[in-house]
Amino acid sequence: MSIITKITTQQKNKERYNIFTDDGTGEKYAFSVDEGVLVKFQLRKGMELDDFFLTEIQYEDEIRKAYNMAVKYLSRIIRTEHEIRIYLKEKEVNEPVIQEVILKLYEFQFLNDEQYAISYVRTQKNTNDKGPLVIRRELLEKGVKKTLIDEAIKEYTYDEQYHKAEKICQKETAKNKKDSELVIKKKLEQKLTRKGYPLHMITDVTSKLEVKNEDEVLQAIQYHGEKFKRKYAHEAGFNYKQKIKAALYRKGFSLDLIDDYLRENIDERE
């Protein structure tokens, strides 16, 4: 049995208190507690502490310390329950304590995964060109329940998704003017897939998008045709034409367009 002999305020943290006790061998520092723990257990000079009571005090203080850590972590940016659990585990907080902290955070409305998911979807759709599948995956990685994500993703309407996907396509098309229409469409599909747009959205956008007009198509095949003419300049006659034809076909140009190009540009070498 120990008796509290002195309680002092810590110099660096005025909300924590050092407890000194005497178990019959003289006064010595025993432990420190949060102000809330001090008040809850009414700790005072002369109070007797048995082992069970001391365990209760220390357990409550662990909860207070972990709770304060979590609140400080949350003060920088809103987090999910999963992120808080991971953070506290990394700080070597025991699971029973973490569970108590989570309950307190919900009680005082520091945690709300439903609101977090809605806020996250709104922020992402308003600040970048991510599609719904990427946003969904990110929320899953943050530990948000699928049911909450399903509701939150409704904030990202079909029209908003279509508009963003269309802009991505227009920008990507402008960067690849020298490619064939087929190659450009493949690049668009790959880009939109990486960005997280669903297949039906990709199909809707790319099927209605005018990738190239006639002049641009002719310019593209002329550009690649000239490159392949230089590349296969060492060839002659039939082989020369066939290698250029195969190369242009691999670039996504139609056979009819390739034949027209060859007639106008290559026939003299047969």
Average pLDDT, the chain: 88
> Domain residues for 198?
158-208
Quick check: is 37 in a domain?
no
**Is residue 215 predicted with pLDDT exceeding 70?**
no
Examine the domain organization and report whether 179 and 196 are in the same domain. Answer: yes
Q: How far apart are CA 139 and CA 198, in angstroms?
A: 17
Q: How far apart are CA 162 and CA 227, in angstroms?
A: 36
The pLDDT of residue 201 = 93
**Is residue 138 predicted with pLDDT exceeding 90?**
yes
Examine the domain organization and report whether 190 and 220 are in the same domain. Answer: no
Strands (E), the chain: 2-9, 16-22, 27-34, 48-49
Structural domains of the chain, count: 3
Q: How far apart are CA 175 and CA 228, in angstroms?
A: 21
Quick check: is 263 in a domain?
yes
CB contact at 8 A, 180 and 220:
yes
Quick check: is 180 in a domain?
yes
Quick check: is 258 in a domain?
yes
The CATH number of whichever domain residue 184 belongs to comes to: 1.10.10
CB contact at 8 A, 119 and 110:
no
Examine the domain organization and report whether 142 and 170 are in the same domain. Answer: no
Nearest to 120 by CA among 144, 96, 103, 101: 144
pTM over 0.75: no
Please give the backbone phi and psi of residue 21, each rounded to the nearest 5 degrees, phi first. -135, 170
User: Which amino acid, residue 9?
Assistant: T
**Is residue 210 predicted with pLDDT exceeding 70?**
no
The pLDDT of residue 231 = 82
What would the mean pLDDT of 186-215 be, rounded to a whole number? 85
Quick check: is 39 in a domain?
no
Q: How far apart are CA 209 and CA 84, in angstroms?
A: 44
- Over its C-alpha atoms, the chain yields an Rg (Å, rounded) of 34
**Is residue 267 predicted with pLDDT exceeding 80?**
no
Examine the domain organization and report whether 128 and 148 are in the same domain. Answer: yes
- Of the chain, the percentage scoring pLDDT greater than 70 comes to 95
Quick check: is 9 in a domain?
no
Quick check: is 202 in a domain?
yes
Is 254 or 108 the better-scoring residue by pLDDT? 108
- Residue 180: exposure state from Cβ atoms within 10 A (0-12, 13-18, ≥19): buried
Quick check: is 35 in a domain?
no
